[in-house]
Amino acid sequence: MFKQSTSEPKKTLIIGYGNTLRGDDGVGYKIAEIIEQWNVNNITSLAVHQLTPDLAEKLSQVDTVIFIDAVPITDINTAKLEIKIIYTNQKSNNLAHHNNPEQLLSLTQAIYQKIPQAYWILVPAINFNFSEELSPITQKYARLTLVKIEKFLSHQSTGNFI
């Protein structure tokens, strides 16, 4: 387990999403389940199949949110874990359909006038066939994701992922 910073604890929400019946697509969901088992104060982890509007209320109650999803790759030799800082989607006026983190942040801002610091971790994925198992490459990047999240949460007051 990790040691949290001694400064004022920030509330963090981790949302892992994807279809656990479609192989690597479920990696975000599975990572969120693992983090929930850490049982750390001020950290909530949700495993969901998709991003839905009701999550906006939960986003409004935290300082930081980390979204985790699979990203399709075609070449395992060039695969890499992507970690992005994300912002509200200024181009979208459609707040009724939420299928990505930017739109969910926009909804949170529109309803609650609050936007947490937001990150999007995209885990390389190659197998989207009917399966509940992760491919070896996605398993490798799932472990790396857990290490990076643990490090970030341990030193959250001193910086960010990027």
d(CA 132, CA 134): 7
How much is the pTM?
A: 0.89
Q: Where does residue 8 rank: exposed (0-12), middle (13-18), buried (19+ CB within 10 A)?
A: exposed
**By mean pLDDT, which of 19-28, 136-145, 148-157 is the weakest?**
148-157
Give the whole-angstrom CA distance, residue 118 versus residue 83.
10
Q: How far is CA 33 from CA 38, 82, 115, 160, in A?
A: 9, 20, 24, 22
Q: What are the structural domains, with CATH classification, of the chain?
A: 12-158 (3.40.50.1450)
Q: In terms of DSSP H, where are the helices of the chain?
A: 27-38, 55-59, 101-112, 136-154
pLDDT(2) > 70: no
- Distance, in Å, from the CA atom of 105 to the CA atom of 31, rounded to the nearest integer, reads 21
The predicted model gives 19-25 an average pLDDT of 96
Outline where 25-122 has alpha helix (H): 27-38, 55-59, 101-112
* Predicted pLDDT of residue 98: 47
DSSP 24: G
Taking all residues of the chain, what is their mean pLDDT, rounded to a whole number?
Answer: 89
Is residue 74's pLDDT more than 50? yes
**pLDDT recorded at residue 28:** 98
- What is the chain's alpha carbon radius of gyration, rounded to the nearest angstrom? 15
Inform me whether the pLDDT recorded for 12 exceeds 50.
Answer: yes
Contact, 133 vs 125, CB < 8 A?
no
What percent of the chain shows pLDDT beyond 70? 85
pLDDT digits (tens, 9 = 90+) for 34-60: 999 999 899 999 999 999 999 999 999
Q: Identify which of 162, 151, 121, 138 has the alpha carbon closest to the alpha carbon of residue 14.
A: 121
Beta strand spans in 50-116 (E): 64-72, 82-86
In this predicted model, what pLDDT tens digit does every residue of 99-142 receive, in sequence order?
799 999 999 999 999 999 999 999 999 999 999 999 999 999 99
